[in-house]
């Protein structure tokens, strides 16, 4: 399963939150079973982050989503807009 899209910060305060908490979120996600690749990169617009995720299967993706929902990252970024597309393998 893959996810791609954008994390869209409304202001500089949200940008600071992402910058502070993102490294640990990336570290934890890449260590998850079934995570093939995970990338969150700031775009030319400093308030927009490009997100690309690839998981081995739906179970790994769902496990990731649950971990994020219960995580510090999930709590501190809950008010930040997300524009994601999720695709299943054909």
CATH of the domain at 78: 3.30.70.100
Write the DSSP symbol of residue 79. T
Whole-prediction pTM? 0.92
Model pLDDT, residue 13: 98
pLDDT single digits (tens) 21-68: 999 999 999 999 999 999 999 999 999 999 999 999 999 999 999 999
Name residue, tokens 């908490």: 21
- Residues 17, 76: contact at Cβ < 8 Å? yes
User: Is the pLDDT assigned to residue 90 strictly greater than 90?
Assistant: no
Residue 38: give the domain boundaries. Answer: 2-87
Model pLDDT, residue 11: 98
Model pLDDT, residue 89: 73
Query: What's the structural domain count of the chain?
Result: 1
Longest CA–CA span in the chain (Å) reads 40
**Alpha carbon distances (Å) from 10 to 48, 68, 90:** 9, 21, 35
């Amino acid at each position: 399963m893959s996810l791609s899209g954008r994390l869209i910060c409304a202001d500089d305060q949200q940008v600071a939150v992402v910058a502070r908490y993102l490294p640990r979120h990336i570290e934890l996600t890449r260590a998850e079973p079934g995570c093939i690749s995970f990338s969150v990169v700031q775009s030319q617009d400093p308030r927009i982050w490009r997100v690309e995720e690839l998981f081995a299967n739906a179970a790994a993706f769902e496990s990731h989503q649950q971990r994020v929902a219960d995580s510090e990252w999930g709590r501190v970024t809950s008010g930040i807009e997300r524009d994601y597309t999720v695709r299943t393998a054909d």
